[in-house]
Structure 1
């Protein structure tokens, strides 16, 4: 399956069915398909051919998303660019990816003008929604081209080039293939409930998880309702209005949703699957979500290098056979997906037995082709014949995967290993805590001291001693934070992850 095949499959189930909806405007499968043909022809006319890199810089938008399928039809490589990135970061990515064509919204024209002088390889600029200096207007670019089937033979299997988050140093380019996304889509359809034609609500950026989850939805002839900007009041309204069946939010937004004044009065009965992932979720908040949102919560665990579906936990897996909550699983990342081998490895390449902690490693057709123009990093991440996730975890007797930390976030205090994720789970069980970050800071006595930074719910107060006693009761004295800080908000990445490197830099002298 090539990327446009998911759209074409949906169109074969009904060209007049709703495909992409935003702000009351609905485009049918036939309309989206026709526009993607014209985009492919326009790329070809502009000299963009198989293997060339085409970037999209846009907020969530149906026309921008349609261009993804046009890029695939032209045999080119889709390079999603996060519009929330700093200008310098996007300039570096576009240059490193050898991007020759950029499709962007007029709102980002100032950013494009700023970085363009440093991008000599960028020769084709297309503005989606109006005039922009140095760019061709989208309508002019398409002028005279027929809305008839057309496609080129791709240069190879690579369909996407994705920049890794950048929170761990200089971003790398993850080369995703047709087979990677086909495996991801198959695992999605295999692992979660889909009854009837799905309606998927995309609040998160289509450049991230929200985007690739659209492909399996389209293959079933489903409708994608696109939100141009994150707004939880609109989110709840759209779930009820469109009878949404599937959606995805990162834990940070779910925490906010649980406190939303409209949640209790919103009809959520249409929901079949409410995915959460991209960061660990508090077990206490997950149980709260099962009660307030419904028995529809569904976890996924993956990374850019193995998108979305390394392990999965369907809604039913959150409960025992008798219907009681399976609380012992709430801190897990589910079970390894059917087409994925997951193991736990030590530093010497030995696979560890059940219950022992080590690095989570993966073998699957889900795993990327490698890092773009970086054979050394590719070799490092695939040593011993397995893909190395950089996460520390273990598999329990029922084969549930538990992620205890990022390898780089482990704290060694007084000779003991403390995994920050375990301490964060304990902190998140406190009713006053909305979010938190646990890091290690240099300490003359302990080597590193466990340090917790808390963001409290609005109107809540708590003392340092109360927090320390609460954590000690749950995980013991070694893992109890020796330092507790209260901040009004935590620094976050563009996708809502807490930036522990920034937390640490603020606290270091």
Structure 2
């Protein structure tokens, strides 16, 4: 009986069928599918020479780039597990992830050398530091490591049952949770998205969402499933992206809704740079109908696809056929997150686990062939999330009578700002450590640019004054700057439930329009 296909088999197949088609383009560099196979093989061989084996772990601290893609491909071929680290985190947060993942090798860009030097004393399990883009003290340069594997064969190969990646999503308590994503599930995910995007070897998808998150990885897998090209940008720069779209023949865009809005605003009407776009994928945050209609008007020849899911499981999509605005029903459907994907079951359940009828909100629970396998080193969180084979998302949603899924609210108290999850409990802990703060609550308030922005509602210590700029700096010095409050509201007391818990629902209603 033939063995089950792996992600590595797709890389090998592309190298044979589309050898000269670029797999990745970034910063003026091109890596064809045949080159990607060769270099990923050499990297695996070099790591094998240093004692790594299948299912050992490496970590990557990097912005989007070709070498990041090569490290991912190396893992997909060899079965070495790749853990991603969010470069936007504060150094202590990076350290928590790296200590949990316990990689034997840390790949990093020189931009983060200072962070790596600060982390190094606590990373006793790291045997090798590899700088991806330059010589660095205490590290091997990437090209030197690659040269050590030149002309070698793959030392070991992945199997479908292997773990492929650890993608970290910070828990509501602030403890990092590494989602275990397997070869089998990621291969199926790529196939599903390839079908939804209708992508082929001539397609070029521009990725600006960080490849450390599952969204960008999933789109790259979807494009590569049929030999297409991922064009990588290090950060969101609308003018540069429009230039790339025109120069490199971009056919697929993947953006968060806030990015989509900004790109359309910068492009202006009838932009020739957007004329070749035939598919627009948007995900990572709720989208307003205003933003979506403007984008559809700016790219009338493009099909739009809304993806809903989490790192744990990709759930549903609103396909291009339902992106219409002609009637009131059409406009209502635009606010949905579509139908469940193939091999995916979705239920809406109440607090007792009973299934809710259409129109009644409840928790979204999912059972899928592309679901994560659990949380790394966290059996308790795994048991809380995966129950009887169903992933309990914590999101509130409902079905309509047509079977379309609607997202009513995001996970309780999670703020989604610019496509990044900000967990209020973690921010509250830091805000509360400010000497002038007696009590606080952190909520998300609507923000035209970022979707939501972080707002701290604080009760000051008697006789003290809370300065918004000072509080923002206090938070940014301890956790990632994007988690710091953009607005601070000072109050005499916070609303509470009879149990004594903060009533954030009241706060959100009170300050949503301010």
If the TM-score is normalised by the length of the shorter chain, which range does it land in? 0.7 to 0.9
Structure 2: how far apart are the matches of 1:277 and 1:212? 11
- Aligned-residue Cα RMSD (Å) equals 3.3
Post-superposition offset of 1:94: 0.6
State how many pairs are aligned: 440
Aligned to 2:243: 237
- In the alignment, which of 138, 141, 144 is matched to residue 140 of structure 1? 144
Structure 2: how far apart are the matches of 1:327 and 1:285? 13
Residue 7 of structure 2 is aligned to residue 6 of structure 1: no
Residue 184 of structure 2 is aligned to residue 179 of structure 1: yes
TM-score (norm. length: structure 1): 0.79
- In the alignment, which of 351, 355, 374 is matched to residue 351 of structure 1? 355
Structure 2: how far apart are the matches of 1:382 and 1:108? 35
Aligned to 2:221: 215
Structure 2: how far apart are the matches of 1:43 and 1:357? 50
Give the conservation status (yes or no) of the 8 Å contact 1:2–1:72.
yes
Aligned to 1:53: 57
Aligned to 2:203: 198
Give the conservation status (yes or no) of the 8 Å contact 2:129–2:139.
yes
Post-superposition offset of 1:232: 0.5
Query: 1:291 is paired with a residue of what secondary structure?
Result: helix
Structure 1: how far apart are the matches of 2:491 and 2:384? 31
Structure 2: how far apart are the matches of 1:325 and 1:168? 40
Give the conservation status (yes or no) of the 8 Å contact 2:322–2:334.
no
Structure 2: how far apart are the matches of 1:148 and 1:50? 17
Aligned to 1:85: 89
Aligned to 1:39: 43
Give the conservation status (yes or no) of the 8 Å contact 2:39–2:146.
no
Q: Which aligned pairs between 1:250-399 and structure 2 lie closer than 5 A? A: 250-262=256-268, 264-294=270-300, 295-306=302-313, 309-319=314-324, 326-399=330-403
Give the conservation status (yes or no) of the 8 Å contact 1:157–1:177.
yes
Aligned to 2:101: 97
Structure 2: how far apart are the matches of 1:363 and 1:212? 18
Give the conservation status (yes or no) of the 8 Å contact 1:305–1:367.
yes
Give the conservation status (yes or no) of the 8 Å contact 1:346–1:359.
yes
Distance verdict in 2 for CA 1:177–1:504, change over 3 Å: farther
Distance verdict in 2 for CA 1:376–1:264, change over 3 Å: same
Query: 1:12 is paired with a residue of what secondary structure?
Result: helix
Give the conservation status (yes or no) of the 8 Å contact 2:242–2:267.
no
- What does the per-residue CA deviation read over 1:411-456, in whole Å, with 9 as the maximum and x for residues that have no partner? xxxxxxxxx99xx9xxxxxxxxxxxx9x9x9xxxxxxx99984546
Distance verdict in 2 for CA 1:508–1:132, change over 3 Å: farther
Distance verdict in 2 for CA 1:455–1:18, change over 3 Å: closer
Distance verdict in 2 for CA 1:325–1:266, change over 3 Å: farther
Unpaired runs of 5+ in structure 1? 411-419, 425-436, 442-448, 458-488
Structure 2: how far apart are the matches of 1:173 and 1:6? 25
Post-superposition offset of 1:102: 0.6
Aligned to 1:25: 29
- What does the per-residue CA deviation read over 1:188-235, in whole Å, with 9 as the maximum and x for residues that have no partner? 122233356211111121212222211121121112211122211011
Post-superposition offset of 1:143: 2.9
Post-superposition offset of 1:304: 0.6
- What does the per-residue CA deviation read over 1:325-373, in whole Å, with 9 as the maximum and x for residues that have no partner? 8201111111111211001011111111222110000011111111111
Query: 1:48 is paired with a residue of what secondary structure?
Result: coil
Unpaired runs of 5+ in structure 2? 429-440, 450-471, 493-514
TM-score (norm. length: structure 2): 0.78
Post-superposition offset of 1:128: 1.6
Structure 2: how far apart are the matches of 1:263 and 1:33? 41
Give the conservation status (yes or no) of the 8 Å contact 1:9–1:218.
no
- What does the per-residue CA deviation read over 1:149-187, in whole Å, with 9 as the maximum and x for residues that have no partner? 414144852111111145662221111111221221121
Aligned to 1:473: none
